[in-house]
């Protein structure tokens, strides 16, 4: 079987779908990875994967350019004699499915992580695009030989309610999975004089960056020995990107430490006491699951995606969305209660093993493939 994995960044393929590509390859299948060009494409090639740059611009709304992309995909899929196309994120899912259909490839799997900018944003452009995108999704993602993989029950309910696809074709799979052997508690970790928290994410306003900074303001005003760390890169191609100048300004004010991109996330998690993600909405936040697998207490918002990872008071703390005061109070609570941190972290590890281990997730994904091919 030849499988195409198509995503809107090569970074996503490397960080979120590398294990799927490896599992397919190890099972004797041929895998072709597609995304717009970027530095992680060469990293994928270094691992022995076949990766091709696609002529795609993430934010393009130019009809001619978009039609050119679909036609390019159709030609490539036909030339490569592909058996199954798996698209990730809404744009890649729609275009990949349309191209596969035009190329005569019936087996189409699409994974939508969160509802994306068009459905989650309230700005005028997003609202204007919503009916068009919904119609395109209905045309591209439907059919008996297609499956739609969603990451949380809220997104599944949306698709069932709007009838974008036949509800019988929806499969609920919790994200891309986490390697719980690599992400594991570090027995050498010791609590230092200062309590360290980190927000690991792409630097988007939707990740609750503003609330995290305001929580740092509030905590520092109480003279607490807590350090706020930020791990991640800016994403200038995203409408919700936080400008780098703003981040550097917060650093200069002494509100937080910005680590930039971090390759060794297990080492970072071993150096902190808690992980925070005050997102406005998620598909299923992998960074939060990785932290939980490392046995860390989690603080996140009571929103779709995040509440699938954290049960309040059991394996983490949930706070209302866009509420910096509640976020600061939750962080302070962990700072004051080491026993609570230990209890929450232990439960977070147990949940990661039971629900989010990549071996479980990969098995469910390959089972979906088996329904079609």
On the question of pLDDT at 341 being above 60, the answer is yes
Terminal alpha carbon distance of the chain: 8
Mean pLDDT of 327-338: 98
- Residue 158: the pLDDT is 85
- Residue 115: the pLDDT is 57
On the question of pLDDT at 248 being above 80, the answer is yes
Distance from C-alpha of 187 to C-alpha of 266, rounded to nearest angstrom = 12
Confidence of residue 334 (pLDDT cuts 50, 70, 90): very high
Distance from C-alpha of 207 to C-alpha of 14, rounded to nearest angstrom = 21
> How far is Cα of residue 168 from the mean position of the Cα atoms in its chain?
25
- Residue 159: the pLDDT is 86
> Tens of pLDDT along 213-242?
999 999 999 999 999 999 999 887 788 899
Nearest one of 302, 279, 301, 275 to 288, comparing CA atoms: 275
> Which single residue is written with the structure tokens 């918002």?
301
Confidence of residue 116 (pLDDT cuts 50, 70, 90): low
3-state secondary structure of 108: strand
> Which single residue is written with the structure tokens 């949306």?
158
Task: Confirm if 194 and 233 have CB atoms less than 8 A apart.
Answer: no
Task: Confirm if 153 and 172 have CB atoms less than 8 A apart.
Answer: yes
Distance from C-alpha of 14 to C-alpha of 274, rounded to nearest angstrom = 26
- Residue 187: the pLDDT is 76
Task: Supply 77's token pair.
Answer: 């899929």
139 or 208: which leads in pLDDT = 208
- Residue 172: the pLDDT is 96
Distance from C-alpha of 368 to C-alpha of 362, rounded to nearest angstrom = 10
Confidence of residue 121 (pLDDT cuts 50, 70, 90): low
What's the Cα-to-Cα distance from 177 to each of 70, 83, 344, 363, rounded to whole Å? 29, 24, 20, 10
Mean pLDDT of 25-47: 97
Q: Which run of H or of E encompasses 3?
A: strand 2-6
∠ at Cα 175 (49, 129), nearest 5°?
A: 95
Task: Confirm if 299 and 276 have CB atoms less than 8 A apart.
Answer: yes
Alpha helices, DSSP H, located in the chain: 10-16, 18-26, 39-46, 63-80, 90-102, 116-120, 124-141, 153-162, 209-221, 244-252, 265-270, 286-293, 306-309, 324-336, 338-351, 358-372
On the question of pLDDT at 136 being above 80, the answer is no
Percent of the chain with pLDDT over 90: 80
Query: Length of the chain, please?
Result: 373
What's the Cα-to-Cα distance from 131 to each of 8, 118, 119, rounded to whole Å? 22, 10, 10
Report all structural domains of the chain as residue ranges with CATH numbers, in order of start. Answer: 2-177+357-372 (3.40.50.2000), 195-356 (3.40.50.2000)
Model's pTM, two decimal places?
0.90
Query: How does the average pLDDT of the chain come out, rounded?
Result: 93
Task: Confirm if 261 and 237 have CB atoms less than 8 A apart.
Answer: no
- Residue 57: the pLDDT is 85
On the question of pLDDT at 127 being above 80, the answer is no
Task: Confirm if 184 and 357 have CB atoms less than 8 A apart.
Answer: no
Range in 127-141, 248-262, 292-306, 318-332 with the lowest mean pLDDT: 127-141
The residues, ordered by sequence, that sit 6+ positions from 143 with a Cβ below 8 Å of its Cβ are 101, 106, 108, 169
Distance from C-alpha of 261 to C-alpha of 269, rounded to nearest angstrom = 14
Q: What is the DSSP letter of 167?
A: G
On the question of pLDDT at 79 being above 80, the answer is yes
């Amino acid at each position: 079987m030849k499988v195409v994995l198509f995503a809107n960044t090569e970074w996503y393929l490397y960080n979120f779908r590398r294990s799927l590509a490896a599992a397919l390859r190890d099972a004797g299948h041929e895998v072709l990875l597609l995304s717009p060009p970027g530095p992680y494409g060469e990293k994928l090639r270094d691992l022995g994967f076949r990766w091709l740059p696609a002529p795609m611009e993430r934010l393009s709304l130019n009809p001619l350019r978009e039609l050119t992309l679909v036609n390019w995909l159709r030609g490539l899929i036909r030339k490569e004699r592909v058996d199954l196309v798996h698209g990730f994120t809404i744009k890649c899912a729609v275009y990949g499915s349309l191209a596969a259909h035009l190329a005569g490839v019936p087996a189409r799997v699409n994974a939508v992580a969160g509802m994306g900018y068009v459905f989650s944003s309230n700005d005028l452009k997003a609202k204007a695009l919503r009916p068009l995108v919904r119609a395109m999704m209905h045309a591209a993602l439907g059919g008996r030989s297609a499956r739609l993989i969603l990451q949380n029950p809220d997104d599944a309910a949306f698709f069932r309610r709007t009838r974008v696809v036949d509800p019988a074709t929806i499969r609920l799979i919790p994200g891309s999975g986490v390697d719980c052997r690599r992400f594991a508690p570090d027995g050498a970790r010791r609590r230092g004089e200062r309590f360290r928290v980190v927000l690991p994410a792409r630097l988007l306003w939707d990740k609750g960056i503003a609330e995290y900074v305001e929580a740092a303001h509030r905590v520092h005003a109480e003279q607490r020995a807590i350090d706020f760390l930020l791990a991640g890169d800016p994403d200038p191609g995203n409408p919700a990107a936080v400008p780098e100048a703003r981040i550097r300004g917060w650093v200069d004010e002494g509100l937080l430490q910005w680590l930039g991109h971090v390759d060794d996330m297990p080492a970072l998690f071993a150096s902190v006491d808690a992980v925070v993600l005050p997102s406005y909405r998620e598909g299923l936040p992998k960074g939060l699951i990785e932290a939980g697998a490392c046995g860390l207490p989690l603080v996140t918002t009571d929103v779709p995606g995040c509440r699938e990872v954290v049960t309040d008071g059991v394996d983490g703390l949930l706070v209302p969305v866009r509420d910096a005061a509640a976020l600061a109070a939750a962080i302070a609570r962990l700072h004051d209660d080491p026993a609570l941190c230990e209890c929450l972290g232990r439960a977070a590890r147990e949940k990661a093993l039971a629900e989010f281990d990549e071996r479980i997730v990969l098995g469910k994904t390959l089972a979906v493939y088996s329904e079609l091919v």
